[in-house]
Amino acid sequence: MRLRIYNEIYVLEEFCSTLNCIDLETMDEEEYLEFLRERDLMIESGCLEDEEDCEDIRVDMIECFLEEDYRVVFCFYDYQFNWRDKDEQEFIEERTVTINREWPYIIPKPTLGVPKIRWYEVRDIFELKKELEYYRIEFTCVIVHKDGDVKDAKYILNATEGRDFDFLHIIDKSEVDFLEKVVPKLKILLKNKLEIIDER
């Protein structure tokens, strides 16, 4: 895994690498079987995580950002709320901390204005894992003090899907804590297999 350091953002490459670029629907049976064989070999060799390991490592990595009295708050466009099933809506509604127009994404703000954003917290590691399973690859969340407003988040985390692997974009509002407090934890978690590249 590689961590690229830029002036205002950090990017973790291969944030739970997958073969998402493969279009399974266009494969015939022989190609699909060959894909499965190659995938199994990559998992066995440690070059690719299986889905369960992938979820676990993402949970562990997000835990590296947490400090005492801090929480994880996910967000999504509020108009997407009705796309969720009834159980998911109830889960989110009970945990919604605010609905506002605070823009948390790394992409530019929409020219026609920022839509309403719904923010909801997860209350424990089991809920964190549940939400990561729902989002699978792409998600946005913030790390914020339990009594703090989302606009005062310490970290903003944007996970996005790339062609060959996934990325975790990190904005550190403290400007120093990520390198001083989080990176040492990531190194331990990843067994010192974290390559740091300074792009400044």
Q: Is residue 42 predicted with pLDDT exceeding 80?
A: no
Do residues 170 and 5 make contact, with C-beta atoms less than 8 angstroms apart? no
Q: What pLDDT shows up at residue 162?
A: 77
Mean pLDDT in the chain?
A: 84
Above pLDDT 70, what percent of the chain? 80
pLDDT score for 199: 93
Q: Are 90 and 142 in contact (CB under 8 A)?
A: no
pLDDT at residue 193, rounded to an integer: 85
Region 107-122 average pLDDT: 93
Asked if the model's pLDDT at residue 118 lies above 70, the reply is yes
Residue 18 has pLDDT above 50, yes or no: no
- 12 with 2: CB under 8 angstroms? yes
Tens-digit pLDDT profile for residues 157-171: 999 987 767 899 999
pLDDT at 176: 85
Mean pLDDT of 132-150: 92
pLDDT for 19 equals 40
Looking at this protein, which amino acid is placed at residue 199?
A: E
pLDDT of residue 107: 84
Question: Distance (Å, rounded) from C-alpha 123 to C-alpha 183?
Answer: 24
User: Helix %, strand %, coil % for the chain, to 5?
Assistant: 40, 25, 35
Give the torsion sign (CA, 14, 16, 20, 24). positive
Q: State the pLDDT at residue 21.
A: 37
Please report the pLDDT score of residue 146 as a whole number.
Answer: 94
Residue 138 CA: distances (Å) to CA of 19, 105, 134, 135, 165: 14, 11, 10, 6, 12
Whether the pLDDT of residue 43 is over 60: the answer is: no
As a whole number, mean pLDDT of residues 55-71 equals 90
Instruction: Give the tokens for residue 166.
Output: 């996934």
Q: 13 with 167: CB under 8 angstroms? A: yes
